[in-house]
Chain A
C-alpha cells in the first residue's frame, strides 16, 4: 500500500470516533514515521476540518513531525531532575557526537526516570539511565554496529 492509501485507510477506520484527530495523527506517524504534508488535505476532508486547522494541530504538538526523522531518534531528557545530575552536559555531548549523522536528536522534557538520570530514549521504547558521555558513545556505537 502506498503511503497515501494507508493514510486514507487510517482515516476511514478512525474518523467516526469523537475527537478522532489526535489518534489519527498518531497512527499515521507510527505507520509512516511522519505525517506527510500531502496527507493533510485527506485528513481535513475526512474529519470535515479546514487544512489550516489540521496543520495547526500538527504543528502545535512537539511529538508530531512532517518530515521523516533520521534512521534513529534519540531523545535526551533536558528537564530539571536530569539537569541536577549532568543532563545538560550530556545533551551537549550528544549534539556534538551526532552532528552530521543520520540520527535525529531531540530534547524531551522528562521521561519519568528522574531518580536515575540523566535519562534518554532511543526509537520511542528503548530507555537508558544514568547516561554519562562515555556510556552515550557506547550506546551509539552499539546502535550503529547493529545496523
Chain B
C-alpha cells in the first residue's frame, strides 16, 4: 500500500515587544525570577488588563508578512485550564475571532516545483509562567517564575498542506526569514522565540480523508522538526501496516535518541469570550499605515538586487536571506564597491568569520564602510586577494582603517614591473624543469611558476602582472 503524510504546523512566535501584552512590565523573561511582575500579570483581585499597542503592531506586521488578511474585528477569549503556570485559571488567546486569516507562502518543493502552502489563521496570545523544577535537600520542589506570564505571542496555524519533512522545513525557513524581516521577533528555534508543534497523520496516497493526527512537540531546531516528522511518518506507517490503532495524542521529540515518545492525552479546554479586554477594531487608515511600515520583503528585494546591482539569482537570494545582511550589502555597495565582489566577499569571507567569532553582522567591528574600503583597495589592485583576507582578519581587532593596516603590515601589492621582472627571472633560473615542462605544453607548470613567484614576494606581488611577465619571458 502507498501512503502519504499530511502535515500541519502550529508555530508560536515570541514578539520582541518592550512590554508584556496586558501590562507595562518589561518583556524580559530571562531576568531575575518574578522581577517583571505587577498586579495585572499576577492577576491579583481587582486588576484589569491593559492592552499593548506595540504587540498589536508587531503581530500585524507578522500577519502581513505571511500574506494574511487582517480581520476588521478580532477579540480575546479565555482558554480555560487550571495549572500553576496560569495565574488566573485561563489564558487569553484569540480562539474564536483571530487577528488574521487566509495567509500563504510559496516554497520550492523537493522536486523543484513551486508549491503554495496555506496558513489557516494567526492569532495573538499571552505566554504563561515558567515552571522550574528543583530539588531542595531531598524534596523535589516546583517554583513558578511569572516573568514570562503575559509575554506577547502570535500563533501561526498552517493548513495541513505539507506532505514531507522537507516541505515542513522549507516552510519554516521561509517563515522564519519573513518574520525576521519584519523585526517583530528574533524567530529563533534554538532560543525558543520560535516554537513549533507538528501535527502528522497518514493516509493512502490520493485519498482526501484526514485521519487521526498525532501532535509532536519539543523540537528545538528546524532540522529537529524534519527528523521528528520523518520518524513519526515511519512510526505511523508501521502502525497502519500492523493494524495498530493510531490515537489522538501528543508525543515528545527526544533529540538525543531521535525518537518520539507518548506524552499525554490531548486536553482541549473550552474557550469563552473574555469580557474585560476590548475588541480589536482595525480601521482602513491604520492598516494602510501598518502596510507602509512593512519593509521590502526578501522576494521583492532579490528581484531588485538582480536588476539594480546585476547580481545573479543565487547571489541576490543569499544577500537577501537576512534583512541585516541585505542592509549591510547595500551600504557596502553605496560606497562604490563592486556589487558582485561585495556579495562574494560577504558570503565567503565576512560571514564565516562572524560565525566563528559568534558575532552578528549588524553589530560587528568591520562596519560596511571599512569593508567597502577594503574591497575598493582590492579592486584597484592595491592589494591582492590573499592580502585582503589577511587585512580583513586584522580589521576585527583594530580600529585602524584598511589603508593604515595595509601600510603598517606592508600588504601593499607589488605591481612595479621591474621588481616583478627580477622575481620572475629568479624563478625561471631556479626551476629549469618546470620551465621545460611548460615549453612542452604542460599548462600546469605555469601555475607552479606563478606560485613560486608569489611565494618569493611573500604574497604581495600582483599575480596578474606575474603571469603577464612570465609568459612574456617564456615565449
Same complex: no
Interface set of B (CB-CB < 8 Å, partner A)? none
